Structures are given as structure tokens and as C-alpha cells.
Amino acid sequence: MAEPRVSIVIPVYNEEENLPELLRRMHTVMEGLGKPYETILVNDGSRDRSLEILKEASSRDPALRIIDFNRNYGQHAAVFAGFEAARGEIIVTLDADLQNPPEEVPKLVAKMEEGYDVVGSVRQQRKDSVFRKAASKIINRVTSSVTGVQLHDYGCMLRAYRKDVVKTLCASQEISTFIPVLADLFAGKITEIPVAHAERARGESKYSFLKLIRLQFDLITSFSLLPLRATMFIGVTTALLAMLAAAVLIAGRLLMGSDWAVSGIFTLFAGLFFFVGVLLFSIGLLGEYTGRIYMEVRRRPRFVIRHVIQNGEERHP
Ligand code: UDP
Ligand code: MG
């Protein structure tokens, strides 16, 4: 088979209801593109029939390659596995839930052929819940100010990358990574194009409120030391305020006698508790970074691949 020009990478986690339509539409679009291509689907430990559907589809379509994880490692680990397996010059990622219409892929590819390293996409009329959109808005804002990479929509996984960028991504074996941001750090020429966004066809979003908070925290701590510096700033300011409060208390004690100072104890308590809070917060934050270093030095594999399936046949990786 000819070397593919375009590789499509799709993470799949419990998407049995969306897969048949996704595979059908993807096939039509890619055949229409007129370039050699491959589609890599990474089964991220689905507990439904996703794997069977994928396996069955691969026996009919030689352009499909299925990577099967031994358990759930998360969307980004799945995309990384797809990246490592991708052979195309242009690598496109998208979600399996049909929120990113496969029909938009040729637009991205065309833009890439103009010589960009990364082509992102901005979702026009995003079809998500109000809560989900608000969360994304905050994440986008904080992310661009913390990382200094100015893009409009980090959450949209419908993106295209050049092979070199993907290679660099794979080489930086970080544990917790947010692919769009990381890619933009390494890419020379970046652009964004508007794409359509659809309602999640079937099934539920795999991101809960807690998972989103976790993601934001990951983003900030894995891309900058700003929280450490902010904590130091808060610490210094608190200390200065505490000194000021002490001066006021001493002055009051000297000028107005000990009666006044007794009621001052409560102020002192309040200050003390605040201080303890800040201290605990700092320790926690330091722990986060230390934990991160610990995770990095262990160099654990980020995922374990059970099988690779092509033409309906299982191979060991
Ligand atoms: N996904 C995955 N592993 C996970 C969670 C999600 O591979 O642990 C996949 C999921 O199948 C989908 C994509 O990542 O293809 C995006 O997930 P989802 O649609 O739930 O996220 P949202 O659209 O709410 O951001
Ligand atoms: Mg979705």
C-alpha cells in the first residue's frame, strides 16, 4: 500500500452508538479527498461494543488501523498512541462523537497544503450545554494568558498537524499533556479556520465537572510556574499585612490599655487562620510540582497497547 499522505487519528471511548455513522461518513470524505490516507482509531478501553464494531469495520476497510488499549487512559493518551502510529505527512485529529463533522477534514488538509505547521479550528455556533461552554471559555482565557499561545479555541480537537510537530510532541514524553497547547508551542506557522460543530450525536460527554477542573489545573501547572510565583506573592503580601495588623494591635495596647488588646485577639486569630490557609495552599501546590517531577522521573509508559488490528487481524504491537 502507498505511504499515506494524510493520517486521521480518532480516540474512541464507549462510542458504539456513534461509530457506524462516523466510519461511514469518514470513509466517504476520505475517498473523495483523492490522496492516499489511513484512519487510525484508538480504542481507549471502551466497555461497550466499540471494539467489535471497529474490528468488524477493519476487516472490510484496509485503510483502517485499530489500536486497542488494555484499559482507559484518557483522550490525550489515546491521541498520542495514534500519533506514534501515524505515517502521514499531515495528521488530523477529531472526536468520535460526530461533534466535529468529518466533512470539515478536507478544509483542514487544504489549509495545511498551503504550508502551515498546525491548523486549528474555531467552532462556529458551538453546540454544547451552557455550562460546558462557560467552562471552555474560562479554560481558553486562562490558557492563553498563562501559556502565551494566543488561540481562540483550545478545546476543539478537530485539528491538523505536520509530521515534524507530531514527532516533537511524541518525543517530549510528558505525562499529563494537553495536545493543542503543546503543539502550538512547537509549531512555526499556525492558523485557525472556522468549522461547523454539531450536537453530540449519541451518548454522553465523557467530561464531568471534576474532570474539567482537573484539566485546567493540569494545564496551568504543566505549562508554567505562574502558580508558584503567585503563591509567593500572596505569601509576601499576607506577611506584610500581618505585620501591619501587629503594629496596629501594639499601638492600641499602648494607647488604650489592655482591655482593647483582649478584643484584638480575635483579629489576631482571624489573621492566623488566613495565614494557615495560605501556608497549606502553598504546600499543596509545591506538592503538585514535586508530584509532577516524581511522575516524570519514573518514565512510566503512558499507555499499554494490547493489540493493533488491521484487515480484521490482531497483531501484537
Ligand atoms: N475519549 C477517550 N477517552 C476518554 C474520554 C474521551 O478516548 O477517557 C474520547 C471520546 O470517545 C471522544 C473524544 O475523546 O471521541 C471527546 O470526548 P467527549 O465527546 O466526551 O468530550 P467533549 O466533547 O465533551 O469535550
Ligand atoms: Mg464531544
pLDDT tens profile 152-183? 777 778 999 999 999 998 888 765 567 887 78
Give the model confidence (pLDDT) of 191-236 as tens digits.
888 888 888 878 888 778 888 888 788 777 777 777 777 877 888 8
CATH topology of domain 6-224+302-315: Spore Coat Polysaccharide Biosynthesis Protein SpsA; Chain A (3.90.550)
Listed ranges 84-88, 215-219, 220-224, 258-262; the one with the highest mean pLDDT: 84-88
| Mean pLDDT value of segment 287-304 | 81
Expressed in angstroms and rounded, the spacing between residue 123 Cα and the centre of ligand 2 is 12
Residue 195: what pLDDT? 86
Residue 124: what pLDDT? 78
| Mean pLDDT value of segment 264-268 | 69
d(CA 312, CA 24): 17
Expressed in angstroms and rounded, the spacing between residue 108 Cα and the centre of ligand 2 is 19
Residue 69: what pLDDT? 96
Residue 101: what pLDDT? 92
Which ligand lies nearest the alpha carbon of 72?
1
Residue 264: what pLDDT? 66
Question: Do the beta carbons of residue 153 and residue 122 sit within 8 Å?
Answer: yes
Give the model confidence (pLDDT) of 34-52 as tens digits.
999 999 999 999 999 999 9
Task: Please state the domain extents for the chain.
Answer: 6-224+302-315, 226-298
Q: What percent of the chain has pLDDT over 70?
A: 94
Residue 110 predicted with pLDDT over 90: yes
Q: Looking at residue 47, what DSSP letter applies?
A: S
Please state, rounded to an integer, the average pLDDT across all residues of the chain. Answer: 85
Listed ranges 113-122, 201-210, 246-255; the one with the highest mean pLDDT: 113-122
Residue 263 predicted with pLDDT over 70: no
Pairing of strands 305-310, 64-69: antiparallel
Query: Ligand 1 site: residues with CB under 6 angstroms?
Result: 11-13, 15, 44, 72, 74-75, 78, 95-97, 99, 200, 205-207
Atom of ligand 1 nearest to the CA of 72: 8
Q: What is the pTM of this model?
A: 0.78
Unique residue bearing C-alpha cell 492600641: 252
Residue 284: what pLDDT? 81
Question: Do the beta carbons of residue 93 and residue 178 sit within 8 Å?
Answer: no
Residue 265 predicted with pLDDT over 80: no
Listed ranges 60-69, 129-138, 211-220; the one with the highest mean pLDDT: 60-69
Expressed in angstroms and rounded, the spacing between residue 212 Cα and the centre of ligand 1 is 12
Query: Which residue minimizes the CA distance to atom 22 of ligand 1?
Result: 205
Question: Do the beta carbons of residue 159 and residue 76 sit within 8 Å?
Answer: no
Expressed in angstroms and rounded, the spacing between residue 178 Cα and the centre of ligand 1 is 13
d(CA 165, CA 155): 19
d(CA 57, CA 50): 11
Q: Which of the pair, 305 or 133, is modelled with greater confidence?
A: 305
Residue 188: what pLDDT? 79
Q: What are phi and psi of 10, to 5 degrees?
A: -130, 120
